[in-house]
Amino acid sequence: MADIAKPGRHDRQAATAWWRDERIRGLIAQAITLLIVVGAIVFLIHNMIVNREAQGRPFSYSFMDNIAGFPLSMSLIPVDLNSTITRIMVAGMLNTMVAGVASIILATIVGFLIGVMRLSPNYLISRLAAVYIEVFRNIPLLVQLCFWYFGVLKLVPNQKNSLNLLDAFFLNVRGFYLPRPLPQTGFGWIIAALAVGIVGALLLRRWSRQRQMATGERFPVLWTGIALVVGLPVLAWLAVAMIYGTPLNWEYPVLKGFNFQGGIVLLPELTALVIGLSIYTAAYIGEIVRGGIQAVSHGQTEAALALGLRRSWTLRLVIIPQALRVIVPPLTSQYLNILKNSTLAVFVGYPDFVSVFTGTVLNQTGREVEVVIITMIFYLAISLTISLFMNWYNKHIALVER
Amino acid sequence: MMDTSNVPTGPRENPELEEISPPMTVVGPVAWLRANLFSSPFNTLLTILAVLFLAWVVPPFIRWAFIDATWTFPQEVIEGVRGPNRGDCTASGACWIFIQARIGQFLFGFYPADERWRVVLVFILTFGAVTGMLIERIPFKKQNAIFLFLILPILSFWLLLGGLGLEVVSTRLWGGFMLTLVIACVGIVLALPLGILLALGRRSDLPVVHLLSVMLIEFVRGVPLITVLFMANVMLPLFLPPGTTIDPLLRILVGFTVFTAAYLAEVVRGGLQAIGRGQYEGAASLGLGYWSMMRLIILPQALRISIPAIVNTINGAFMDTTLVAVVGLYDFLNIVRTGSRDANWIGTEIDGFVFCAAIYWICCYGMSRYSISLERKLDTGHKKR
């Protein structure tokens, strides 16, 4: 019986040693990781504070109220040499938004066009789209941007010899000039009519959908909707024109001395940035659109046609909704890419947020840490907002599983 | 109704009938044109528009790039009487002698001319080793990998920077295509392991590791590369202990590596997610620990699946190297741009950028074709099973 004596020792051998327990090992690994990371961060920040104090510039955001003292070549809010750094920063943020939104719109249009062309049964058209995609996707964006800005837009004629379209649009080295709309008395009525038209069209659509669900009768929503949205403002326009005179005047750009006066001017920097960003991103969007449409199986088209749906309805009711589900998530990341790539404005001298704030303000004030923190927060916030919106939209159109 | 009794069922049965080829409207080039270009009025319109567009774009480009272009130096320049300039080129064509005159600088930056053989040697060794890795038929993959990832980096470091018997060449003199390749290669070689670690961290069950990885990945992916480079350039020196200095090129390499690693991590995570639970459970039931499981079972499969996407990310990283010009490094694009600002070469911007675009395009298009061919190869492998 001596063999089975000392049961305690036997137990101890069977149980796993505590340092082999997976949970405990996990805890230890995490503790070590945390220690290393926190230690590194503390070390780095400590160095930063010591370095900054040695240079006599302790961490502080008080410089934001200082006067920036440099002008911006473009700004949506009025800024001058006496504007504070905060105001200049906001102007830069708005400029980033302008470039980003314009590029997103243009890239989406061109990209969808290229994607559809790529799938065209016409050999030439689909080859052209393929060449477009392969060329512009495989050349760095910055090379393209430099090409458009330093290569093309810097070589257009000077102010005296501007390229002239209808005496209203002018292109020269100083930028692209457009007429400026000047709303006159009563213009508000036209806007109001437009709003009423849009709301009316939306209500009409809801009503017709409910009626179709209940009775099966269809109502020509599209045409009546267009009539409402276009017709009401036109009527309002005519009415205002009869009562007050013309509701909208145009201010045309005119060459006075060495420069154009009046009108709206798009800086060549902005033009090059928007052209470059849209052409580059459109190549990616084209591929996404092509992939999305091809992802809808041909059986869906056949089934829809077999049900007697018209070609146009098949496209609108069957193909596009399903293709969008595939298209939207990668499209979101392309929009985010446009936003991030708009920082290449630095290279062409367009006063976007990074160029104004992370570039000039940082150089002037020497407040690296403060400036970089604000920059990061700005981009993270926008990225997050676009992602959230697109996730919401994606959920909205996602497959409803029953 | 057709009377079928007289119709021969085949040419053999009625020797008097000749074999007739199908009508031209069904096969042959005419039929192809009809089916692909003129199948409907709308299609015909599109074809006409496309042809007009091509006629508008292609001939002028060919005239500019080839026919009207200047390819050779004038006699005086060859004899060494004077240097070349923009005036030696035709006004209406490309000025390719600008590229010829500057090619040394475009390739090597300000690297001393007598030492450029070192760069060429590193390039040949790297190119050879990479080709050996990429082409499947070439044997000695393991030895090659050891050479490429362990020996070559040290060797290149010594050859490029100098020391130990070689003349020291400061990184401030590096530039041109060489700098672009150095940043791309170093960034990618360092970013791959870092990216894999981050991906594993993001998939980890340990909440602290998971959270830290997610924070780093999402933070880096949420901000533009330019701001990361700015940050690396101005903030890294501040974060180091007082008195230490850090080479500008090294700062950029740190920023670039972290940025690329975050994107690679997401790609690798995609590969990891595609591996079934059975593989993990199987490995665990064999008694493998976490690291052996990852190294022997999971990662080989996950990386294999994600190779095409990894190549695409590398392609993007290669194109992103152009952004280092923002902190004043003379990479390929920046040095070409600077070259065309030279007083002798005013008006060669387009020529320079077209040359740049062509070189980048060849590299990137090659990489993307390689990734597509890999994808096909891996794809069929899956379908066969």
CB contact under 8 A, A51 and B242: yes
Q: Does A312 touch chain B (CB under 8 A)?
A: no
Give residue-wise pLDDT tens across range A245-276.
777 777 777 777 667 777 777 888 898 999 99
CB contact under 8 A, B234 and A368: yes
Question: Of the candidates A44, A125, A340, which has its C-beta nearest B50's C-beta?
Answer: A125
From chain A, the residues in CB contact with B357 under 8 A are: 139, 143-144, 147
Question: Are B126 and B144 spatial neighbours (Cβ–Cβ below 8 Å)?
Answer: no
Q: Does A369 touch chain B (CB under 8 A)?
A: yes
* CB-based burial, B56-95: b 16+ in 10 Å, e otherwise: eeeeeeeebeeeebbeeeeeebeeeeeebbbebbeeebbb
Residue B331 to residues A104, A146, B191, Cα–Cα distance (Å): 29, 14, 20
- Residue ranges and CATH numbers for the domains of chain B are 179-384 (1.10.3720.10)
Q: Considering only CA atoms, give the Rg of chain B.
A: 29
The mean-pLDDT minimum among A22-26, B45-49, B277-281 falls in: A22-26
Instruction: Indicate which of A16, A27, A124, A148 best probes the interface with B, i.e. most B CBs within 10 Å of its own CB.
Output: A124
Does the pLDDT of residue B127 top 50, yes or no? yes
Count of helix runs (H) and strand runs (E) in chain B? 16, 0
Q: What's residue A58's pLDDT?
A: 77
CB contact under 8 A, A138 and B206: no
DSSP state of A171: E
Strands A163-165 and A169-172: antiparallel
How far is residue B20's CA from residue A220's CA, in Å, rounded to a whole number? Answer: 54
Give residue-wise pLDDT tens across range B296-333.
989 988 888 888 889 889 999 999 999 999 888 999 99
CB contact under 8 A, A340 and B225: yes
How far is residue A163's CA from residue A274's CA, in Å, rounded to a whole number? Answer: 20
* Count of beta carbons in the 10 Å neighbourhood of residue A378: 20
Residue B170 to residues A230, B160, B173, B327, Cα–Cα distance (Å): 68, 9, 6, 17
Distance from CA of A117 to the nearest CA of B (A): 10
Instruction: Indicate which of B53, B57, B230, B363 best probes the interface with A, i.e. most A CBs within 10 Å of its own CB.
Output: B230
Q: Does B61 touch chain A (CB under 8 A)?
A: no
Q: What residues 134-153 of chain A have any CB closer than 8 A to a CB of chain B?
A: 134-135, 137-144, 146-147, 150-152
Q: What's residue A182's pLDDT?
A: 76
From chain A, the residues in CB contact with B350 under 8 A are: 147, 151-152, 155
Single-letter amino acid code for the residue at A110:
V
Percentage above 90 pLDDT, chain B: 26
Q: What's residue B379's pLDDT?
A: 67
Residue A327 to residues A8, A292, A330, A389, B115, Cα–Cα distance (Å): 65, 5, 6, 15, 52
CB contact under 8 A, A340 and B230: no
Question: Of the candidates B37, B53, B205, which has its C-beta nearest A123's C-beta?
Answer: B37
Task: List chain A domain ranges.
Answer: 16-53, 92-158+267-397, 186-242
Distance from CA of A80 to the nearest CA of B (A): 26
Overall average pLDDT of the A26-52 stretch:
89
Does the pLDDT of residue B195 top 90, yes or no? yes
List phi, psi (to 5°) of A249.
Answer: -110, 160
Work out the pLDDT band at B385, boundaries 50, 70, 90: very low
Instruction: Indicate which of B48, B95, B234 best probes the interface with A, i.e. most A CBs within 10 Å of its own CB.
Output: B234
Question: Are B98 and B71 spatial neighbours (Cβ–Cβ below 8 Å)?
Answer: no
Q: Does A362 touch chain B (CB under 8 A)?
A: yes
Q: What does chain B come to in residues?
A: 385
Q: What's residue A2's pLDDT?
A: 45
Does the pLDDT of residue B27 top 80, yes or no? no
Distance from CA of B346 to the nearest CA of A (A): 12
Q: What residues 166-185 of chain B have any CB closer than 8 A to a CB of chain A?
A: none
Q: What's residue A1's pLDDT?
A: 43
Tokens of A243: 């009562």
DSSP state of A173: T
Q: What residues 50-69 of chain A have any CB closer than 8 A to a CB of chain B?
A: 50-52, 54
Q: Considering only CA atoms, give the Rg of chain A.
A: 30
Q: What residues 266-295 of chain A have any CB closer than 8 A to a CB of chain B?
A: none
- The per-residue pLDDT of chain B, averaged, comes to 85
Q: Does A44 touch chain B (CB under 8 A)?
A: yes
For A93, counting Cβ atoms within 10 Å of its Cβ (0-12 exposed, 13-18 middle, 19+ buried), the class is: middle
CB contact under 8 A, A347 and B333: no
CB contact under 8 A, A340 and B326: no
Question: Of the candidates B212, B219, B234, which has its C-beta nearest A380's C-beta?
Answer: B219
- ipTM, 2 decimals? 0.85
* Count of beta carbons in the 10 Å neighbourhood of residue B24: 11
* Top-confidence residue, B286 or B376: B286
Going by C-alpha positions, the residue among B256, B316, B58, B267 that lies closest to residue A280 is B316
- The per-residue pLDDT of chain A, averaged, comes to 83
Give residue-wise pLDDT tens across range A314-372.
888 888 888 888 888 888 889 989 999 999 999 888 898 998 888 888 888 888 888 88
Does domain A92-158+267-397 correspond to CATH entry 3.30.70.3270?
no
Give residue-wise pLDDT tens across range A133-164.
999 999 999 999 999 888 887 777 776 677 77
CB contact under 8 A, B319 and A140: yes
Does the pLDDT of residue A185 top 80, yes or no? no
List phi, psi (to 5°) of A82.
Answer: -95, 5
From chain A, the residues in CB contact with B354 under 8 A are: 147
Work out the pLDDT band at A289, boundaries 50, 70, 90: very high
Q: What residues 101-130 of chain A have any CB closer than 8 A to a CB of chain B?
A: 120-125, 128
Q: Does B208 touch chain A (CB under 8 A)?
A: yes
CB contact under 8 A, B226 and A369: no
In a 3-state reduction of DSSP, which class is residue A260?
Answer: strand
